[in-house]
Amino acid sequence: PEKAVAAMARQAPANLEELNSLIRRSEPLVPGATQAVTGEGPEGAAIAFVGEQPGDREDREGRPFVGPAGQLLTAALAEAGIDRNGVYLTNAVKHFKFVQRGKRRIHQSPTAGEIKHYRWWLLTELGFVRPRLVVALGATAALALTGRAVPVLRERGPMAFDGWDGFVTVHPSHLLRLPEEAERRKAQADFVADLRRAAALAR
């Protein structure tokens, strides 16, 4: 990975478009993904949201946050008064990692080494987008942005990231996994409250 990062840095993309074309031409670190999924949204957006990695649907469509977790995020953003099209959305890892079970492709969490491999891209990407606030959705993004394991439920809220004003909250897929209706509703309300707070910080 260190060699790969040095090789990428030598390619020195001049802008986001060049960076994204480098990312799209790269081989997935773990084989299997259909395509790399790059970030989406305007350069200069006030907030950049960083997720974990594309899921099954994102891998097929080539866009971030279009599957079930993405739809939940889009709805929560709307509830918090944030226009999805006005923010920047990306992932710490740009390729879907999964195991095949029959017809289903089951998501696998990226390892710390994989997160580190993709980190140069993420930081370079943020350097082009220049948001006022970077929001880490879940532990993978928080690890990518801080270099340490962050217990997100305990430490949710504003946090200094390497070079950025940051904010940590849960990943929307966490909300999908909660089995109990009441617990899920409470967690969704907390998530929307975090998004509102982040939006206020980015103003």
For 44-71, give one letter per residue: b (16+ CB within 10 A) or e: ebbbbbbbbbbbbbbbbeebbbbbebbe
Considering the rule CB under 6 A, would residue 125 count as an interface residue with ligand URA?
A: no
88-91 vs 98-101, strand pairing mode: unpaired
The minimum distance between CB 137 and ligand URA, in angstroms, equals: 6
Torsion over CA: 116, 109, 164, 131 (sign) = positive
Report the residue number, 6 or 42, with the smaller CB distance to ligand URA.
42
Q: Are 92 and 122 contacting, i.e. CB atoms less than 8 angstroms apart?
A: yes
* Cα–Cα distances in angstroms (integers) from residue 75 to residues 7, 61, 69, 144, in the given order: 39, 19, 10, 25
Residue in 39, 64, 131, 166 binding ligand URA, rule: CB under 6 A: 64
Torsion over CA: 77, 66, 114, 131 (sign) = negative
Q: How many CA atoms lie within 13 A of 186 on its CB side?
A: 6
Structure tokens at 67: 């599957």
Report the residue number, 12 or 58, with the smaller CB distance to ligand URA.
58
Considering the rule CB under 6 A, would residue 59 count as an interface residue with ligand URA?
A: no
Binding mask 28-57 for ligand URA (x = CB under 6 A): -----------------------xxxxx--
The minimum distance between CB 107 and ligand URA, in angstroms, equals: 8
Considering the rule CB under 6 A, would residue 91 count as an interface residue with ligand URA?
A: yes
Report the residue number, 90 or 124, with the smaller CB distance to ligand URA.
90
Report the residue number, 66 or 199, with the smaller CB distance to ligand URA.
66
Report the residue number, 14 or 59, with the smaller CB distance to ligand URA.
59
- Cβ neighbours of residue 61 under 8 Å, at least 6 residues apart? none
The minimum distance between CB 5 and ligand URA, in angstroms, equals: 22
Q: Which parts of this chain interact with ligand URA (CB under 6 A)?
A: 51-55, 58, 64-65, 67, 69-70, 91
